[in-house]
Amino acid sequence: MKNMSDQQLDLFNDYALGMQNQQAANGLKGFFEATGIRNSSALVYGEDNPICQKEIYVPAIPGKNMYVFYQIIGNMGAYANKEYLDDTDMVLLPDESLKKLEQGTKDDVVLFLEKQYRKSSIKFQKLRFTTESDFLNWVKRRLEKSPDEGTLKLLDIYEKD
């Protein structure tokens, strides 16, 4: 396992400060340490919409209705892609991937991201990362301020899966 440099830790800490879920922050720290991937763009959930018109790589999440999840992402103004594209702006890590990393196991999602990183670490320096849980929490907070019955129903369907 690669150790993170001080610069990488600083970048991770800046990122983690904006996250609401400390457990997810710990999981992401493990992800960055395990893969050696640097995250240079903090994702801060604020009043604005940081995902508007962004391409988000969303790997399949077993047991979940991905069409519903993709629609939720679309309703929030972003483009969900099940394939990693050259113009990907953000990566959404499934919670299950983080749990496996915490146990020392790299699943197919992490192995795939490592492969993409090896192809072009420069692209990865501009990527933003979030987790399934943090994204869903952000959606809920946003819907509290701007209710949307359709998205609320989709969120309910997704969470019941």
Mean pLDDT of 131-141: 93
3-state secondary structure 37-93: CCCCCCCCCCCCCCCCCCEEECCCCCCCCHHHHHHHHHHCCCEEECCCCCCCCEEEE
Residue pLDDT, tens place only, 7-19:
444 444 444 444 4
Residue 16 in domain = yes
Domain interval for residue 55: 6-160
**Cα 86 from Cα 141, distance rounded (Å):** 30
What pLDDT sits at residue 66?
A: 94
Q: Answer for the pair 132, 94: CB distance below 8 angstroms, yes or no.
A: yes
Token pair listed for 10: 């600083």
Task: Answer whether residue 128 shows pLDDT above 50.
Answer: yes
What pLDDT sits at residue 121?
A: 66
Residue pLDDT, tens place only, 80-95:
999 998 889 999 999 9
Task: Answer whether residue 40 shows pLDDT above 50.
Answer: no
What pLDDT sits at residue 35?
A: 57
We report the CATH number of the domain holding residue 47 as 3.40.50.10190
The type of residue at 14 is: D
The pLDDT confidence band at residue 44, using thresholds 50, 70 and 90, is very low
**Cα 76 from Cα 51, distance rounded (Å):** 7
Instruction: Work out how many domains the chain is built from and give that number.
Output: 1
The pLDDT confidence band at residue 146, using thresholds 50, 70 and 90, is confident
What pLDDT sits at residue 67?
A: 93
Residue 1 in domain = no
What pLDDT sits at residue 116?
A: 87
- Of the candidates 151, 49, 47, 59, the residue with the CA atom closest to the CA atom of residue 96: 59
* Between residues 30 and 11, the one the model is more confident about: 30
Mean pLDDT of 41-60: 73
Residue 93 in domain = yes
CA-to-CA dists, residue 93 to 98, 120, 135, 145, angstroms: 7, 19, 10, 25
The pLDDT confidence band at residue 33, using thresholds 50, 70 and 90, is low
Residue 88 in domain = yes
The type of residue at 19 is: M
Task: Answer whether residue 120 shows pLDDT above 90.
Answer: no
